[in-house]
Copies of this chain bind each other. A is one copy, B any other.
């Protein structure tokens, strides 16, 4: 039985110009269960680049909350457009379970076709490596280093204000509010 106040990390990226280059802000929010914020982390990743996995591992491993963290939530498998996260490596190098959460079942075939079209077919391997999307409660998840049962137990604790884990919902508000002047949309 998990404590209601387990520390979890939720990660999301800020809005960015799809046709621009450069870096996009990524925000990590440390939450106690689904109820309150303990801290905020941030880093930057290259739009459509290949450095998200490395940047997230660094951000997580060097933060002072690390010893207490129980899992990492990601809002989708990529940040900054097509900067795809290697969730197996993220799990292995942080020793934390990784739970990718999305509202709708990802259309993997369309994503693969798009990647080929924009000459980023090499990223297909990462997307396949991330494993199948499975439905848990009202969201779709991809899991590394954690069972479906355990993931469901954590989701039941952290999804207090919406179907999405509270640290992801809040990371989205922060990243968009800081970059755009006012938060918009939802994770």
Residue numbers in B under 8 Å from A183 (CB-CB): 39-41
Q: How far is the CB of A63 from chain B (nearest CB, A)?
A: 5
Q: What secondary structure prevails in chain A residues at the interface with B?
A: mixed
Contact of B37 with A182 in the complex, beta carbons under 8 Å: no
Q: How many residues of A contact B (CB 8 A)?
A: 27
Copies of this chain present in the complex amount to 2
Is A64 an interface residue when CB atoms closer than 8 A count as contact?
yes
Residue from B40, B64, B160 in contact with A174 in the complex, judged by beta carbons closer than 8 Å: B40
With known contacts A36-B161, A161-B36, A43–B181 Cβ distance under 8 A: yes
Is A134 an interface residue when CB atoms closer than 8 A count as contact?
no
Contact of A25 with B59 in the complex, beta carbons under 8 Å: no
Q: How far is the CB of A40 from chain B (nearest CB, A)?
A: 3
Contact of A178 with B39 in the complex, beta carbons under 8 Å: no
With known contacts A64-B182, A181-B59, A182-B63, A176–B40 Cβ distance under 8 A: yes
Contact of A42 with B170 in the complex, beta carbons under 8 Å: no
Q: How far is the CB of A94 from chain B (nearest CB, A)?
A: 15
Contact of A177 with B59 in the complex, beta carbons under 8 Å: no
Is A77 an interface residue when CB atoms closer than 8 A count as contact?
no
17 interchain pairs, CB-CB under 8 A: A27-B177, A27-B178, A35-B35, A36-B161, A37-B170, A37-B173, A39-B183, A40-B177, A40-B178, A40-B183, A41-B181, A41-B183, A42-B179, A42-B181, A59-B181, A64-B182, A174-B178
